[in-house]
Structure 1
Amino acid sequence: MSKGDRDRKSAQARKIVEAQKAAERRRKVTIWTTVAVVAVLVIAGGIGWGVLASQNKKTEASQVTTPSVAVDEGTAFAVGTGPVTVDLYEDFMCPICNQFEQQTGPTIKQMVTDKRVTVRYHPVAILDEASNGTKYSTRSGGAAAAAAVDGKFTEYHDVLYANQPEEGSSGLTDAKLIELGKSVGLGASFETAVNDKTYDNWMTKVTDTFASRGFNGTPTIVVNGKQVEGPNNTLPTTAVFEQAVQAAEG
């Protein structure tokens, strides 16, 4: 082989090597470009998800319908005009709440009549898990809110306790809640609110407020800002409750 042939082959080999090196450089650039694009998409996706989650929370918050007659930051329904404020936090599936209602309810009603107290009833839903997935605490509390808007809170409050389902059962159906409403004079707007679950998201909000105030059980009875309990955190007797009101009266 002549020197000229060897030089030509050597030059061709160098070109092939250079072409291979160039191809390898392009491959690496393509890989890192793809990685960069994917990273950007992942970051953008994360930001997008965060924005979407934030928007969903805002949407949920905007969908809370606060009953027009609610007091105490939109969490309760006031009965009476007396100088002493009694806050009652209750879950309509709670048997102890019903016990307190049967035991001390008549005394409270008389205090309202005598204009000694203003009672603020706070429906909360801490026993939803005790109704086989039907969320009875939320549904009954939402129905009570609808009754309050239509001017029949006390009547509906009482009929709910008179027909209280057992804790751990599925609770009353919406149809039964509406039937009970009709029995105390509630009409079409109440029925619509129950069927549309107008105040169910509100029940979630007021239950969160209940927890944020440091409470975790029902019934919770508060007289002029002071929680009232019996010995060893038991349900207060009517006598203990009356003493708390008298002390608040000065």
Structure 2
Amino acid sequence: MSKGDRGRERAAARRIVEQQKAADRRRKVTIWTSVGVVAVLLIAGLIGWGVLANQEKKTDASQVSTPSVAVDEGTAFAVGSGPVTVDIYEDFMCPICHQFEQQTGPAIAQMVTDKKVTVRYHPVSILDRASNGTQYSTRSAGAAAAAAVDGKFIEYHNVLFENQPEEGSDGLDDAKLIELGKSVGLGDTFAKAVDDKTYDSWVTKVTETFSARGYNGTPTIVVNGKKVEGPNQTLPTTEVFTQAVTAAAG
């Protein structure tokens, strides 16, 4: 083979190598371009999902009918006008809540009359699981909210505890909740709110706030921001509760 032929072969070999390198570069560009496109689409998808999720949250929030008379970030109903604030978180199916009302309710009512306390009642629904799927805790709290809007919260609150169903039962049906409302002077607007479940989603919001504040059991009694309990986290006696109010009043 002549020198000229060998030179042409080497040149041809170099061209093949260069062509392969160029092809490799094109493949790398194509791969990274594809990766870039996928990344952009993924980011755009995540942004879109985030926007949609936020819209859904806003929609959910807009579906909550907060009672016009609710206080404390729309989570409670105030009774009384005294300087000491008492927050009571309760579930209308909770037997211990009923016990506290029977035991200490009269003392609280007297403190309200004497203008010593402002009591903020927070109806929560942590015992829906204990009513065989009827969601009694939510329905009764929603009915109490309707009663509050019509100016009869404490009256309805009291009659609910007087007629408290057993934990683990179906609870009272809506017709009975309306009947109890009529017994304390509530009328058609109250009945419609119960039938339409106007405030049931609000009860869910109040229960979520209850949990977010670090509480997990009912009744939870708080006096001027301080949780009040008996020994070993038991239900406070009337004496313990009264001492807490007295201490808070200074």
TM-score by length of 2: 0.81
CA distance in 1, matches of 2:45, 2:243: 61
Q: CA RMSD in A?
A: 2.1
CA distance in 1, matches of 2:166, 2:48: 45
Q: 1:28 is matched with which residue?
A: none
- Map Cα deviations across residues 188-208 of structure 1 (whole Å, 9 max, x no partner): 110111111111111111111
Q: 2:216 is matched with which residue?
A: 216
Structure 1 residue 53: Cα displacement? 4.0
CA distance in 2, matches of 1:45, 1:224: 47
Code of the residue aligned with 1:151 in structure 2: it is: G
Q: 1:64 is matched with which residue?
A: 64
Secondary structure in 1 aligned to 2:218?
Answer: coil
* Pairs within 5 Å for 1:22-37: none
CA distance in 2, matches of 1:81, 1:186: 24
CA distance in 2, matches of 1:140, 1:45: 42
TM-score by length of 1: 0.81
Tell me, yes or no, if structure 1 residue 99 matches structure 2 residue 99.
yes
Q: 2:202 is matched with which residue?
A: 202
CA distance in 2, matches of 1:247, 1:138: 34
- Map Cα deviations across residues 171-214 of structure 1 (whole Å, 9 max, x no partner): 11111111110111000110111111111111111111111111
Code of the residue aligned with 1:178 in structure 2: it is: I
CA distance in 2, matches of 1:175, 1:243: 41
Structure 1 residue 169: Cα displacement? 1.0
Structure 1 residue 133: Cα displacement? 1.1
- Map Cα deviations across residues 114-166 of structure 1 (whole Å, 9 max, x no partner): 11111110101111111111111111101000000000001000000011011
Show structure 1 runs of 5+ residues with no match: 1-31
Structure 1 residue 59: Cα displacement? 1.2
- Map Cα deviations across residues 35-74 of structure 1 (whole Å, 9 max, x no partner): 99xx79x958776665544433221111111110011111
Secondary structure in 1 aligned to 2:78?
Answer: strand
Q: 1:240 is matched with which residue?
A: 240
CA distance in 2, matches of 1:57, 1:249: 41
* Pairs within 5 Å for 1:2-151: 51-151=51-151
Query: How many residues are paired up?
Result: 217
